[in-house]
Amino acid sequence: MPMTTTATIDENAAAAGVRIPRHQHLLGFLRNVKLKYLKLGYHCLISNLLTLSLIPLIIVTLIQISQTKNLNHQWLYHHLQYNYNFFTILTFFCFIIFALTLYQFTLPRAVYLVDFSCFRPADNLKAPSHRFIEHSLLTGDFDNSSLDFQRKILLRSGLGDETYVPEAMHYIPPRPSISTARSEAESVMFGALDNLFINTNLNPKEIGILVVNCSLFNPTPSLSSMIVNKYKLRSNIRSFNLGGMGCSAGVIAIDLARDLLRVHWNNTYAVVVSTENITQNWYFGNNKSMLIPNCLFRVGCSALLLSNKSVDKKRAKYKLVHIVRTHCGADDKAFRCVYQEQDDAGKIGVSLSKDLMGIASLALKTNITRLGPLVLPVTEQLLFFATLILRKFFKDDAKPYIPDFKLAFDHFCIHAGGRAVIDELEKNLQLLPVHVEASRMTLHRFGNTSSSSIWYELAYIEAKGRIKKGGKVWQIAFGSGFKCNSAVWEALCDVRPSPNGPWEDCIDKYPVEILT
């Protein structure tokens, strides 16, 4: 950027003892100001191009009308009487009204997010780093090399000392049974749902659609059936249980609920529950690539209330604008970069490939290539297209233009998969520290809660009071398969945090400095 270059030259000259004339400082400043306002003028001109082009047409029309002196009611009556068939005109207008009505009914129904809730575990489930390592040592399942490896991962992970692991992992030895896994699932799902129903004053009998996603724990009866049984939901409910779809499954679940709400003409509610189960998926071996999830994944769950009722627009927090899904599973490396398998000792775990970040970057680029035309202003699309043409036909080594997504979105919720994931997206999308603050603080406070992490992040932004009416929120999630999914929301009001939120008693402590 020019300002950075000028500043660097000045600093280097000062360091070398060279005095720069005053007028050269002034010229550098004026040059930077000119470039700044030139870009602002370009954005203003392109954004209002249609309006500006209509001005000459309006002026010509007004001049033409002013020159027509003999236009009166009698002329108009005779003109219509002798030159038009009133029946034809009436038929034409009836057709227009019918077409507009038909168009209105064929438009997809708006989907509103009335409210959402994030589960916060009890304090006795907290797992500070020192206790985590001490517990791993006492279990006797890890050798010294694996313990040292986990210490290094925890030190660099960006996780704080207040994240949570399930109750079964606090015992020595741990108790990863199906009954304790069910207990974890029940506590997180019912905890999030209870709070959601209280905050929205919703009778569970009103729910017409239920979608639950959990990647690694899929018992029989299903998790969705557990919810139906707990809250005695109605017998004709449309319930779905999504498994094995990774950390981006929350957006997939919303996509499914949206499609169902759009074709469901009877006004109804959809509830989406996103969680992950750690109890039966803790790795007790010494394969380094399988130990990383132990250090990152923590307990969490989110519950959303979606509606297709027009009356709910008044009380809803957000309107769903876009969902864009990208699946890179056709590529073998992408397919295996997050893979559940057995190690040489027969112990089951999820391995993370060293190619994970590269594959995530490619998936992100594919996703934003489809998302960009839907959300970016015309100015950014023209610049991107011009650069593409330049590279294609004239200059192969020209630097590709990265669209400024800060012009399209006010808030970013990047999946808190790990510190490296957040760093990579901050760099690739050219974001500012404030744009990734919610992701970093969520990772620090709650760890990687899988598909629910983007909702802990949105809850953080709400708790900070930053979301104003009309603001756009971009949620980006990555998951095994390999998938990158985006959801775009528009705030329908100045959003305030709901009662009993996950940040309610600690938001004033954040943001905190994260050591490198």
Catalytic annotation, residues: 247, 327, 411, 415, 444, 448
- How far is the C-alpha of 288 from the C-alpha of 55, rounded, in Å? 67
- How far is the C-alpha of 172 from the C-alpha of 88, rounded, in Å? 86
- How far is the C-alpha of 276 from the C-alpha of 242, rounded, in Å? 11
- How far is the C-alpha of 223 from the C-alpha of 211, rounded, in Å? 10
DSSP 156-180: HS---S--B--GGGGSSS----HHH
Helix residue ranges, H only, 107-248: 129-139, 144-156, 178-200, 223-231
- How far is the C-alpha of 292 from the C-alpha of 298, rounded, in Å? 12
Sign, CA torsion 212/213/219/220? positive
434: left (phi over 0), alpha (psi -120 to 50) or beta: alpha
DSSP 102-113: HHHHHSPPP-EE
**Where do we find the tokens 């190619």?**
355
User: Residues near 507 by Cβ (< 8 Å), separated by ≥ 6?
Assistant: 460, 463, 464
Residue 412, classed as helix, strand or coil, is strand
Q: For the chain, how many residues are written? A: 516
- How far is the C-alpha of 449 from the C-alpha of 184, rounded, in Å? 13
Nearest Cα to 211, choosing from 75, 78, 302?
302
Residue 302, classed as helix, strand or coil, is strand
H or E element at residue 51? helix 49-66
Q: What is the β-pairing status of strands 338-342 and 301-307?
A: unpaired
Residue 147, classed as helix, strand or coil, is helix
For 138, the token pair is 């006492």
User: Nearest 10 degrees: CA dihedral of 9, 15, 18, 22?
Assistant: 60
For 127, the token pair is 């797992």
Q: Residue-wise over 96-129: b if at least 16 C-beta within 10 A, else e?
A: eeeeeeeeeeeeebbbbbbbbbbbbbeeebbbeb
Q: Do residues 427 and 403 make contact, with C-beta atoms less than 8 angstroms apart?
A: no
- How far is the C-alpha of 112 from the C-alpha of 320, rounded, in Å? 6
